[in-house]
Chains A and B, each alone.
Chain A
Amino acid sequence: MSRKNKESRGIAVMEWLAEFPSLDRRELSNMKKGIDGAFREFSRAYGEGLEAFFYPLLKFMVWFEKLLQATPWPIILVVVAGLSWLGSRSVKVTVGAVIAFIAIGIFGMWEDTMSTLAIISVATIICIAVGIPIGILMARSDRLQGLITPVLDVMQTIPSFVYLIPVVMLLGIGKVPGLLAVCIYAMPPIVRLTNLGIRLVDRDVLEAATAFGASPKQKLWGVQVPLALPNIFAGVNQTIMMALSMVVVASMIGVQGLGVPVLRAISNQYLALGVMNGLAIVALAIIFDRVSQTFGKRLQAHRKGHH
């Protein structure tokens, strides 16, 4: 009798071990429904306020996109060449950038490229404006670093489709939700590398600055940030790259640009259309990359020259 009991208990334990004791379906579904319901309430209560908050940003983005699209193409080419030259001081990079834009124009992707350029530029500016201060704060406080690092991990690894749903419920489809989606993914590198750059500044240098009687503010802006600039620039560069890689995802919630034809190509197996627009995104990325990298390198070279 007792043996039988033991045996059946043994079987029960085996069963219990074989399958993870999860919540049952009803509880799980109630929980999911509860969360969804709470979010719906939140969206009803605060959605309009949030939209109003982002309204100036939306107006700016619409204006900027229209500006880029309305500007005659020769002027854009000149501006592209000028910026590439200013950034890189390299004939190769400048000529390459101009040729890439001419190719984009010839293959009929000019307008979409301008839209993409508009959202990527705004996204980069916002990421830099928000990311660098966060990175500086992180570098100054270990506790803050401990708090923010996992948040950055989540931002970089969570599948973007997961946060597209709440973003669309709150803000609808269009430029602002697209921009948010891009920034969630693209901001972590600039924060991380700003933090890292400042933390890597030589202690001896800082000590010397203290010895000369520099205030904390002077130390930050006169010593730490300038010495961290190459790292910060690597962060800017990475942020731009990641923003560009989000172009297609942003198009899934109604952002105009090179992502739209890519989506069209995916659902219809238009090989050429997909490759062409994909390569246009790559071309933009390479231009941004080379210009910002050579700019960062020049900063470094400049610093070495002084020592």
Chain B
Amino acid sequence: MKMTKLALAALGTTLTLAGAAKAESHGECGAISIAEWNWASGELMANVDKIILEEGYGCEVTLVPGATTTTFASMNEKAQPDVAGELWINAVRDQLDNAIAEGRLHSVLDGPITELGEGWWVTPKFAADHPELNTVEKVLEHPELFPNAEDESKGAFIGCPAGWGCQLVNANLFRAFDMEEKGWVLVDPGSAAGLDGSMAKAVERDQNWFGYYWSPTAMIGKYEMVLLPFEAEYAGDDNWNGCIALAEQDCADPKPTAWTKSEVHTVITDEFKKKGGPAVDYLSKRIFPGAIMNGMLVYMQDEQAGGEDAAFEFLEKHGDIWESWVSPEVAEKVKSAL
């Protein structure tokens, strides 16, 4: 016990130590809310956080379900929820930068999951049948390989559902690469279910599929989708943030570019940073390796497990990973609660 206190003292400032001692002795970090994203890895992470923070740090955690832009708007305006575990900041970068500059929000971790990103994918069968078409630009020359059901003279590029941040990006890249002239149609799948359904159907039926997706996801893990690299270099933040990521009318001249590097942060509110103590420490240390996360996501889909079931599965199976995020005492407490 003394040893850990010494270690903690060495690690943190006296303030965090006081907070830590208080929280650990009284089991109080207060009532906090965590955003539970409406995608699987976000659900899993929110539930893992919930269990560890409740059992290990004595917090009272409520999960707040929601989508990126809505939940972020609430965090930004109302400081609720307190924690966004897996915030894809590309969609909300400007507001987040402002909020951080004004001290309302804090990023405590850059990259809670490794090896993640967005991009354009094809089915594994297509990649095997056409090994020569191994970049986005090469595939773009062959719209005839991806006939659009509603107009077979065109190729179907499955974009992002209406209202998602990536919808704007895909629409602008569609223009940047002159895809319309090349014979492509940008298909709006309408919803996450539509996007997943179209990909699943294509893979199950050995049809070709070319569209937008992101990793880590069960869909990518399960169907072994292949990410196509862009030949174009990343054409700079001015082009991306000042054009590609904006609405079509605000982006007159999009330049071809590789996909921007995805940045995912764990973001917390100022209030929670002040009162959270060691719980904040935990949030700044928990990094899921990408392969483990993909495996968990396939498990979730195969078993049709919700975020909570998957969180227990993760905590039971992958002790080696999460125990390094917390102190041994906390690890014991969490383990005894499983």
A interface residues, Cβ below 8 angstroms from B? 29, 32-33, 40, 43-44, 47-48, 51, 58, 62, 161, 164-165, 168-170, 172-175, 251-256, 259-261, 263-269
Question: Can you list 19 A-B pairs, Cβ within 8 angstroms, ordered by A?
Answer: A29-B303, A44-B204, A44-B205, A47-B201, A48-B205, A51-B149, A168-B197, A168-B201, A169-B201, A172-B149, A175-B150, A253-B189, A253-B197, A254-B188, A254-B194, A260-B188, A264-B162, A267-B164, A269-B70
Contact A173 B187 (CB under 8 A): yes
What residues of chain B lie closer than 8 Å to A161, measured between beta carbons? 193
Q: Tell me, rounded to whole Å, the shortest Cβ–Cβ distance linking A239 to chain B.
A: 23
Within 8 A of A (CB), among B65-83: 67, 69-70, 73
- The reply to whether A173 and B198 form a contact with Cβ atoms under 8 Å apart is yes
**Interface contact B162-A172, CB-CB below 8 Å:** no
In the complex, the 3 A-B pairs of residues with the closest C-beta atoms, listed nearest first:
A267-B163, A168-B197, A252-B191
Query: B221: shortest Cβ distance to chain A, in Å?
Result: 17
Contacts of B189 in A (CB 8 A): 173, 253-254
Give chain B residues whose Cβ lies under 8 Å from the Cβ of A269. 69-70, 73
Interface hub of B70, B161, B162, B188 (most chain A Cβ within 10 A): B162
A33 to B304, CA, bound (A): 8
Residues of B within 8 A of A169 (CB): 197, 200-201, 204
In the complex, the answer to whether A58 meets B194 with C-beta atoms within 8 Å is: no
> Which A residues lie within 8 Å of B129 (CB)?
none
Say whether B69 contacts A252, CB under 8 Å.
no
Contacts of A267 in B (CB 8 A): 67, 69-70, 162-164
Kindly list chain B residues whose C-beta atoms are within 8 Å of the C-beta of A266: 163
Chain A residues whose CB sits within 8 angstroms of the CB of B149 once the complex forms:
51, 58, 172, 174
B15 → A minimal CB distance (Å): 37
Query: Given known contacts A263-B163, A264-B163, is B70 in contact with A252 (CB within 8 Å)?
Result: no
- The DSSP consensus for interface residues of chain A is helix
* CB nearest to A251 among chain B residues: B190
| Chain A residues, Cβ within 8 Å of B320 | none
Could you say which residues of chain B place their CB within 8 Å of the CB of A40? 204
Asked if B151 lies at the interface with its beta carbon under 8 angstroms from chain A, I say yes
Please, which residue of chain A has its CB at the minimum distance from the CB of B161?
A263
Residue among A51, A58, A172 facing the most chain B CB atoms (10 A cut-off): A172
Output the least CB separation between A148 and chain B (Å).
29
Which partner residue on chain B sits nearest A166 by CB separation? B197
Q: Which residues of B are found within 8 Å of A261, using beta-carbon distances?
A: 162
Residues of A within 8 A of B201 (CB): 43, 47, 168-170, 172
| Shortest CB distance B128–A (Å) | 19
Question: Do residues A265 and B200 form an inter-chain contact, with CB atoms below 8 A?
Answer: no
In the complex, the chain B residue whose C-beta lies closest to that of A259 is: B190
Complex contact B164–A164 (CB within 8 A): no
Q: Provide the residues of chain B in CB contact with A170, threshold 8 Å.
A: 201
Q: Which of A62, A173, A174, A263 contacts B162 (CB 8 A)?
A: A263
CB distance from A174 to the nearest CB of B (A): 6
Q: Give the distance to chain A from B250, nearest Cβ to Cβ, in Å.
A: 14
Most-contacted residue by chain A among B67, B69, B187, B191 (CB, 10 A) = B191
A166 and B73 alpha carbons, distance in the complex (Å): 34
CB-CB under 8 A for A268 and B193, given A43-B204, A172-B201: no
Instruction: For B191, give its contact among A33, A43, A174, A253 (CB under 8 Å).
Output: A253
| Distance in angstroms between the alpha carbons of A165 and B69 in the assembled complex | 25
